[in-house]
Homo-oligomer: A and B are copies of this chain.
Amino acid sequence: MSKFKVAIIGGGKIADSNHIPALKQLSDRVEIVAVCSRDLTKARALADKHEIDKSFSNTLEMYEQCAPNVVVICTPNNLHYSQTMEALAHNCHVFCEKPPAVHAQNALEMAELADEKGLTLAYNFQLRQSSECKLLMRCQADGLLGDIYHIKANFLRRRGIPGWGYFTDKNIQGGGALIDLGVHVLDLALYTLGYPKPDQVLGNTYDFIGKSGGKGLLGSWNPDTFSVEDAATAYLTFPNKASISLSASFALNMQAEKDRNLEIFGSKGGVKLFPFTLHTELAGELADVQFPYLEDVDIQLKNTEAFLDACFGRPSTVCTAKQGAILQEIIERIYQSAAL
């Protein structure tokens, strides 16, 4: 079998630090043939740095000249939809950065087109590949958790409003802490529950700190142009009577600098994901279990491998197009609920 030809769309940090290094480690399966960016200079520089042959500022030229098998989309959120649709139309498998899109309807159309074309469309939620997430799945499979009925999912930063990029511009990103950070832990929570659609969704968003300004720990931001939520909370119920509590923040007056975690509550056992601890009964007594030697894995590498497995029709743990559509719909319902 010959190697996949891969084109990178987007010339920013996520391409440079995550996707390209992972793909280069998988050089037995893929070859990166091109980098596209609206800014050709940026595209060329990135291509040079990673010894990639071609660079483009126009994707159509790229498709014409390179005929890639796979496209990796690393652009701002509001471009995911059109670029994915175009890539699928050019018969490419697509590995798209999270979130899937800005609107639920778009994510649905993306999934439908991929399905129709028989192509793989997947989203880059790398936390699924962590040792902790793998162990969670194994515990669930081994019956150590019983029925899971509630999950608390947090991705909180105390003062982590990014001082670079488009993270505070609603027109480009579609939202703030929820759509940028909250999606990661929401994906994990849904994945744990088997990715059901919720019955009811209630949520709230806030922007006091973002609009007031102050000390930042991820650079400085401009409060005057801050147009997204700095924090969001939500609550979801599901047909099987399970529920999720979700919190996400760029900025929140809390103690920790960062708190990214899931707590999974089941009838037989409960899990705190980071660091992984299991709380259950063993030998007739309440027991706390620690796993001190979990492997520290390269989650981007593993997720890129999982995407490639999916392209080849092998079992895969990557976030599918259908899951992405469900996720996007939930995000939209939370924002709608908050806007009431």
Q: Is the CB of B208 within 8 A of A159?
A: no
Proximity bits, A208-233, B CB within 8 Å = 1, else 0:
11001011010000000000000101
Interface residues of A in 145-197 (CB under 8 A from B): 146-147, 149-150, 152, 158-159
Stoichiometry, as copies per complex, reads: 6
Would you list which residues of chain A between 95 and 130 have a CB under 8 Å from chain B? none
Contact A233 B150 (CB under 8 A): yes
- Cα distance, A253 to B271, chains bound together (Å): 8
Task: Flag whether A285 is at the interface (Cβ < 8 A).
Answer: yes
- Shortest Cβ distance from A252 into B: residue: B265
A282-323 residues at the B interface, CB under 8 angstroms: 282-294
Q: How far is the CA of A204 from the CA of B146 in the complex (A)?
A: 18
**Central interface residue in A139, A206, A242, by most chain B CB within 10 Å:** A206
Give the chain B neighbours of A86 by CB distance below 8 A. none
Q: Which interface residue of A215, A247, A253, A291 has the most chain B CB atoms within 10 A?
A: A253
Chain B residues with CB below 8 A from A202, complex form? 200, 202, 235, 237
> How far, in angstroms, from A158 to B281 measured CA to CA in the complex?
11
Q: Taking the complex as formed, is A241 at the interface, i.e. its CB lies under 8 A from any CB of chain B?
A: yes
CA distance A255 to B269 in the complex (A): 11
Picked from B135, B150, B286, B289, the residue with its CB within 8 Å of the CB of A206 is B150
Q: Beyond the given A138-B283, A215-B284, please list 7 additional residue pairs across the A-B interface where CB-CB is below 8 A.
A: A150-B233, A158-B279, A200-B202, A202-B235, A204-B243, A215-B293, A255-B288
A-B pairs with the 8 shortest C-beta distances? A253-B270, A235-B235, A208-B267, A204-B243, A202-B202, A138-B283, A285-B291, A253-B279
A residues with a Cβ closer than 8 A to B are 135, 138-139, 142, 144, 146-147, 149-150, 152, 158-159, 199-200, 202, 204, 206, 208-209, 212, 214-215, 217, 231, 233-235, 237, 241-243, 245, 247, 252-255, 257, 263, 265-270, 272, 277-294, 340
